[in-house]
Amino acid sequence: MASVPYTPGQIVSANASSGTGITVVSTSSWGVVGSVIAASISQVHDEETVPVAPQGDSSMISGSVANVALVAQNTGGVATFPVTISIQGDPSGLLDGLPANVSITTSSAVDVIELPVLAVRNLSVSPYVLEVTSNGKGKNVVIRVGRVVGADVVVLSGLTPGEKVLERVPRFGGLIRGPRKRGAFGGGGFVG
């Protein structure tokens, strides 16, 4: 029992509000409830093995995805889905309510190259990069790309480690209306 808010002999109404009852905790099975963002939920599957690290413990416990909710929760404008992880076996030292870190791997790649997205030209149709040759000139090299991860893209083929490519620098600018004065910074103040 985790909590018993009653004393022996006390009469309890059947209509008692929630939160005033006896809380029972099972120590024969454990679980963790976390959330996964909507963009990744399709890659989380039942019975997938998941490492779990209870807070304050450096060891990992093995778990598996027991349930993926069908309805999203909206927190601060971000849709997330509750995912229940069941803990395998009967690890010692776990306490009810103890926070845990859970890592669900949605995809992985081995022996790939990552480049900044700005280094890849024509990314969505026929991607290529501008490789810097030994004489300092550029040469177009067709590549096959995988996932975009943040500001980088995974290159699956077409390049080998150590090759140099040019990255585009975005240009920022805008229209200026009317005459423009140029100024220079000099000797402690702006001069027109």
Which burial class, exposed, middle or buried, applies to 180 when counting CB atoms under 10 A from its CB (0-12, 13-18, 19+)? exposed
Does pTM top 0.75 for this prediction? no
CA of 185: how far to CAs of 110, 180, 181, 192, in Å?
52, 16, 13, 9
For the chain, the domains span 31-91, 113-157
- Distance CA(121)–CA(128), nearest Å, equals 5
Position 45 pLDDT exceeds 80: yes
Confidence at 120, pLDDT banded by 50, 70, 90: very high
Question: Mean pLDDT, to the nearest integer, of 126-136?
Answer: 89
Phi and psi dihedrals of 102, rounded to 5?
Answer: -125, 135
- Distance CA(87)–CA(4), nearest Å, equals 26
- Cα–chain center distance at 183: 46
Q: Are 101 and 55 in contact (CB under 8 A)?
A: yes
Using one digit for the tens of pLDDT, what is the confidence trace for 142-172? 999 988 877 888 998 999 888 999 888 766 6
- Distance CA(116)–CA(126), nearest Å, equals 17
Question: Mean pLDDT, to the nearest integer, of 50-73?
Answer: 87
- Distance CA(120)–CA(145), nearest Å, equals 9
More confident residue, 161 or 191: 161
More confident residue, 109 or 101: 101
Per-residue tokens: 31: 């679980």
Confidence at 187, pLDDT banded by 50, 70, 90: very low
Phi-psi region of 136 (alpha: psi -120 to 50; beta: other; left: phi over 0): left
- Distance CA(50)–CA(86), nearest Å, equals 9
